[in-house]
Amino acid sequence: MTTLVSIVVVGLVYAVQLGLIALSFSITYRAIGFANFAHVQFAAVGATVAVGLSFVVPIWLAVIVAVAVSGVIAVGSDLAIFRRISNASIGTKMIVSAGLLLLMQSAIQYFWGVNPRIYSSGIGTVTIAGVAVGYDQIAIIAIGVVVFAAFHQIIRNTAAGRLIRATADSPELAESRGVNSRLVVTLVWFLSGALAALGGALLGIEIPVDPLFGQEILIPMFAATVIGGLGSPMGAIAGALVLSFGQAILLDVNFAGFLGRVWHVPSQYQTVLQFLLLILVLAVRPWGLFGASRERA
């Protein structure tokens, strides 16, 4: 019971953090048609700004500022770079975005230094079925549920959501009905940068933040998005849940139990586990769990 509760809590917390980043990655993929490597740096900006400011202002204010800053940077990256190469091949766009990833990493390292910083919460814990659960963990899960529900409602049931979906499906058709597709794309970039920053900030208050934060979430982000099906927003959340719980369970299993010994997968192999889960899913369903089948020659 104790193990079960801790797996559920750890799994849900990580699923929210990763899910926000994967969801926002998926939105830009859907709207602009390529996998943006630099996306992880929007999350890293969220984490660094939130944790950096948390030493000066209350954490909720720090997170809001981080989300806004990252949204603006995302829009800026579109205006300055990605809009200029809209007619290039997918490969070119991906290489440019990888260049941006490296540039933003250099910038973060310049301002932040190489040393990791840790957010000291000082927030209490509550005991659920014998497991100490931090209020911050509960807050993260609650924020995740609210944001995912709100996102789903906005995309499915509001005028803004219909505009975004229409533009993603066919910018030309949307334009022909009077939609300002440039404005919609700008909105998508802001939303995407902001959600990534929220995910990054929520992750950053739990783990040490250093300039490699962005590169380190590259594999988990891809794994979650691809498992769910690249370009499917709800798939990204499902992928994050699969990945998060798969990993929490695998890290908890005692693989030497049948020998009467104790051997767990060391936690530094977390990324290896995620990568293996990704390969496993791709071997069975090359287009992910919720994606549309696209065969390649």
The interface mask with another protein, positions 31-60, x = CB under 8 A, is ---xx-------------------------
Query: Interaction with another protein in 207-226: which residues (CB under 8 A)?
Result: 215, 218-219, 222-223, 226
Is 45 or 96 the residue whose CB approaches another protein more closely?
Answer: 96
- DSSP letter (8 states) at residue 292: P
If one asks whether residue 170 binds another protein (CB under 8 A), the answer comes out as no
Does residue number 296 form part of the binding site for another protein (CB under 8 A)?
Answer: yes
**Does the footprint of another protein cover residue 251 (CB under 8 A)?**
no
The CA-based diameter of the chain, rounded to the nearest angstrom, is 69
DSSP 229: -
Question: According to CB under 8 A, which residues from 70 to 89 bind another protein?
Answer: 81, 84-85, 88
Choose the stretch contacting another protein; rule: CB under 8 A; options: 116-124, 134-142, 147-155, 261-269: 261-269
With CB under 8 A as the contact rule, the residue among 5, 7, 68, 103 that binds another protein is: 103
116 binds another protein (CB under 8 A): no
Does residue 271 interact with another protein by CB under 8 A? yes
Q: What are phi and psi of 117, to 5 degrees?
A: -120, 150
Question: In terms of CB distance, is 260 or 266 closer to another protein?
Answer: 266
254's enclosing H/E stretch is none
CB of 100 to another protein, least distance (A): 7
User: Which residues contact residue 3 at a Cβ distance below 8 angstroms, ignoring those fewer than 6 apart?
Assistant: 252
* Span from 14-22, 178-186, 234-242, 276-284 in contact with another protein (CB under 8 A): 276-284
Spatial neighbors of 270 by CB under 8 A, at least 6 apart, are 247, 251
Q: Which residues pair with 132 in a beta bridge?
A: 127
| 93 close to 82: Cβ distance less than 8 angstroms | yes
Task: Specify whether the CB–CB gap between 78 and 185 falls below 8 A.
Answer: yes
- The helix or strand, by DSSP H or E, that contains position 48, with its residue range, turns out to be helix 39-53
Q: What's the CA gap between 74 and 52, in Å, rounded? A: 20
Residue 166 found at the interface with another protein (CB under 8 A): no
DSSP 159-217: HHHHHHHHHHH-HHHHHHTT--HHHHHHHHHHHHHHHHHHHHHHHHTTS-B-TTHHHHH
Among 61, 90, 132, 280, binds another protein (CB under 8 A): 90
Where do contacts with another protein occur on this chain (CB under 8 A)? 34-35, 81, 84-85, 88, 90-92, 94-96, 98-103, 105-107, 109-110, 114, 215, 218-219, 222-223, 226, 230, 266, 268-269, 271-272, 275, 278-279, 282, 286-287, 294-297
